[in-house]
Structure 1
Amino acid sequence: MILTSLIDNTRLNNRTDLEIERGLSIHASTMGKSILFDAGSSRAFCDNARLLGVDIKSVDAAVISHRHHDHCNGITHFLDQNSKAQVYLRECEDTNYTFKTLGFKIDVGINKQLLTKDASRMTFINQMTEILPNIFIITDLGNKYEKPEGNKYLFTGSGESCKSDTFDHELLLVINEHDGLIVFTGCAHSGVLNMIDTALNNFPNTKIKAVIGGFHLVGLPLFNSIGGTKKQIEEIGESMLNYPIDKLYTGHCTGMKAYNILKGVLGERLEYFPTGRSVSI
């Protein structure tokens, strides 16, 4: 498998030609298939794809991890450039998504017009589904571990009906290659450890070649604070060591402070995955 970061909060130092934004989009080339995982919030991932030699027109399937704008609003540009791929989302209630803290409130949800722009291209999943040979979407995510502290700023609904987001709009993408799994986390609002545990429970007696995506260990993004304490982040890293995982590639909502704490625990197993980076697994 070849993985390429099409959009992230940061980029490779030598690729100033690439755009960045607070968002996530990853391309995977595996087993003769081309997969897009998340689409950022604009057309930036499409523009970067061209510069990185990734053909958006040839993508066979697009998967949206959850309904926050920085992962899905760019899909409108994907639909403009690609005429064949289905776009997969988790089936959930129609609601609004909001970030709130200290009286400050912003809409962080999907542009709902995307869901009707080309309805025939949208597929809504409510159970574990093999969307292509050995490529799976999982919707039933475990809760063995605590969810991220940073979730406390995220809500659904509006006005008096506003309530804490339970993330029933989040899914897990797992690709099962002959020598192990590749697990795509999106933002891991359900908890990166829960996602790892879910993947292995669904594919027992195997290993994870790589976990890739954001881990949502940031607290308030504006201040790049960590969600929780240093000890809690270290404990997440120590728990990761107990699982059969070869590598972890992260960025976006993990946050640099939390990344550095995890790096101290995980060492060479953990690497940053900025815009423009490609890895072969």
Structure 2
Amino acid sequence: MMKLTALVDNTRLNSRPDLSVERGLSLHIETMGSQVLFDAGSSDTFCKNASLLDINIQDIDVAVISHRHHDHCNGITHFLDNNAKANVYLKNCENKNYYFRAFGFKSDVGIDKKLLERANDRLVFVDQKTEIASNVFAITEINKRYPEPKGNQYLYTQSNGDYELDVFDHELMLVIKEDDGLVVFTGCAHSGVLNMVQTALELFPNHRIKAVVGGFHLVGLPVLNSIGGTQQEIKAIGEALSRYPIDKLYTGHCTGMKAFELLKSVLGDRLEHLPTGRTVLI
């Protein structure tokens, strides 16, 4: 059985006002004798929350960065300060700048380049399916059967001075294979949560998915908490997810609460919110 704790999300449990929040994601995973950190938010918030949740950052065996946006990776600087043993795995890709652009507004949303320089002895860049701990897999090639989230239209990369829509060649997913099924971790699922589920089942056929965990990037413009697409399109994603052999889905962060409620109307009790401070057994 897996023990999963949300160290950082956009929201927190009402019963834990002592915990801090930020627009970001960080998850602590205990599985089969290993401790895994999946994403690290954008600051040291996840470290402070971990202490309040009786989780020792020093004990984490391996860390994974889902993609090179600041709200998932910049906190790794603080992880490296507090953990002396764990390697940090991320997707190997071209070194680019990452931006949010909409209606004449531009914001840098990329990884702190100093982190890449400072931590090169602890960072491991992968470009194929890699078993980073026993039955813990970083997956770098993600199926493209389904459309990508419409919120991606505001996300760009820049190299050699030119802006291009982000193709998310910096994104990976995490799959943990336990005796009774798979747990799929999406990060932001910029490649599409349905594509990630499909990929997991193709790589691990004849396995049930115990849970899908992470953001689904169904928000449109985050500042407005709009949805990425129409209500019918979000519900269609929920209906497609309902047809897969998935027991539970735990989400928050970039899914957006409006999209969450639309998915909930389709998926019912199979879908749950995972705010900062919540622990679930999977």
Partner residue in 2 for 1:111: 112
Report the AA paired with residue 263 of structure 1.
K
State the AA in 2 paired with 1:67: R
User: Which residue number in structure 1 is paired with residue 179 of structure 2?
Assistant: 178
Letter in 2 for 1:253: C
Superposition CA RMSD, Å: 0.7
Letter in 2 for 1:257: K
Match of 2:155 in 1: 154
Q: Which position in structure 2 is the counterpart of 1:274?
A: 275
Letter in structure 2 aligned against 1:232 = E
Q: In the alignment, which residue of structure 1 is the partner of 2:21?
A: 20
Name the CA distance, whole Å, in 2 between partners of 1:176 and 1:135.
Answer: 7
User: Secondary structure in 2 aligned to 1:120?
Assistant: coil
Distance 1:227 1:10 in 2: 20
Q: Counterparts of 1:160-171 in structure 2 under 5 Å?
A: 160-171=161-172
Structure 2 residue 210 is the aligned partner of structure 1 residue 212:
no
TM-score using structure 2 length:
0.99
**TM-superposed deviation, 1:119:** 1.1
Partner in structure 1 of residue 78 of structure 2: 77
Cα deviation for residue 117 of structure 1 reads 1.2
Counterparts of 2:149 and 2:225, CA distance in 1: 15
Indicate the larger mover: 169-178 or 116-125: 116-125
Residues of 1 paired with 2:53 and 2:279: CA distance?
9
CA displacement 1:214-234 (0-9 Å, x = unmatched): 000000000000000000000
Map of 1:1-281 to 2, 5 A cutoff? Answer: 1-157=2-158, 160-281=161-282
Q: Secondary structure in 2 aligned to 1:119? A: coil
**Structure 1 residues 120-145: Cα deviation after superposition (integer angstroms, max 9, x where no partner):** 10000000000111000110100000
Helix, strand or coil at the partner of 2:215: coil
Which runs of 5 or more structure 2 residues have no equivalent in the other structure?
Answer: none
**SS state of the match for residue 121, structure 2?**
helix
Q: Distance in 2 between matches of 1:23 and 1:247?
A: 22
TM-score by length of 1: 0.99
1:257-277 Cα shifts (integer Å, max 9, x gaps): 000000000000000000000
Distance in 1 (CA, whole Å) between partners of 2:116 and 2:24 is 19
1:186 deviates by 0.1
What's the CA shift for 1:242? 0.8
Report deviation, 1:118: 2.2
State how far apart, in whole Å, the 1-side matches of 2:68 and 2:259 are.
Answer: 24
Secondary structure of 2:249 counterpart: strand
CA-to-partner distance for each residue in 1:58-95, whole Å, 9 max, x for gaps? 00000000000000000000000000000000000000
Identity %: 64
User: Gapped runs of 5+ residues in structure 1?
Assistant: none
What is the letter of the counterpart of residue 269 of structure 2? Answer: E
